[in-house]
Every structure is written in C-alpha cells, then in structure tokens.
A and B are shown apart, each in its own frame.
Chain A
C-alpha cells in the first residue's frame, strides 16, 4: 500500500517556466515532508522540506506547499533551468525519532530549452 504517491511519472517543462510537481499521501501521522532530487548514478540529494504545521516553505527558486486537509503537497520551481532536469522524490516522515522516510515513486522532470 503506497502511503506516498506521485502520480506523474514524468513532466516536461520549457526552460524559464514554472515546474509544478505533485505528491499525495494517505498517512495522517506524517509530520514532516521532504523533496529530494536525484541524478542518474547518484544518491538522492535533499532539496527542501516542510513541517506539517506549516503550509508553505520557500528557498530560492524552490517552494513547497502543503495542504493538510487534502493530504497533498507540491513543489514549485521557478524559473526552471536545464540543471533542474532530474528525478524528484517526495518523501514523508512519521515522528522525529529514528524512523526512516517513506518515498513516492518519483517524477522525472525534463526541462526543455
């Protein structure tokens, strides 16, 4: 049973435009959400996160929005750049202890020139 879902396997966006990656979750006990970026043959790299008590977190070109009632979060990248082409994973954590992360299947973002 997938607790974290990314329903778009891939997304193509023109350079300079906004990229919006979506993520849904089912476990209401998740208290922290993270986005990771992954290039081929490399490990996931932490991008941005948001606590469940907030609805928005911004870091440069990256903004994450959380809608708890809808159990939905999204990552906005603006403006999109060629180096943003990668697989983006949504992840969630339950509790602040030594629990691991539950990941979605990832969305392959392709930035077209």
Chain B
C-alpha cells in the first residue's frame, strides 16, 4: 500500500522516442507534482496539478506534458527525448494548506541513449 507509486523505476530509451511515466497516490491529496533531479543532484519542480489544473510550469520544454486523468494520478509524457533529459524524475503529492511534508515516490531513472 505504497502512498505514492511511480512506474517504471528504470527507463532506457533512444533519442527521439516518446515515453510516459505514471504516478498514482492513495493519500487523498489534492495536489501532485513532478520533480527532476539532474546530474548535479538538484531537485527542481517541473509541474504541479491541483484539482486537475496546472498550477506551475517552471519553464520546462513543451516536449514535457503532464496528464492528470483524476485527482489520484499525474502522468508525465515526454516527446522527442533528448540526451539532456536523462535524470531521475520524482512524483510527489501534498494537501493544500496542510503543514506537513510532501510525500515523494521512489523515482524513475530515465536514461536516453
């Protein structure tokens, strides 16, 4: 009964391909996020979704598109993958207004070759 689960854990793909990473949370949180941890180990926010609305888009290339079919899911689609997209992607969730920590998934290591 993992709180935030994302699949796959590892993804190796060729440049130019299109791929998706799935995320699901069973905490009843109203907001979900995607974070990217690059080679320099920085964790940076990419998107957040609150009640099916995109709240933040931190200058991420439009090859990246979040899709939220419902409040419990936020999937990440990436088109025309580039070498620089290689990173670890973390999904997270939180409840608006609540003062406790955000809950993260275990990460998806994407390697573009």
Contact = CB atoms under 8 A, between A and B. Distances in A.
B104 A89 contact: no
Contact of B43 (A47, A89, A99): A89
A97 interface: yes
Given A43-B4, A44-B90, A98-B48, A105 B41 contact: yes
B12 interface: no
Contacts, number: 64
Judged by DSSP, the binding face of B is strand
Interface string A17-44: 0000000000000001010100001111
Contacts of A32: 99
B90 A100 contact: no
Contacts of A106: 41
Nearest to B32: A98
B43 A43 contact: no
B31 interface: yes
A105 B40 contact: yes
Interface of B: 4, 30-31, 33, 35, 40-45, 48, 50, 55-56, 90, 92, 94, 96-97, 99-107
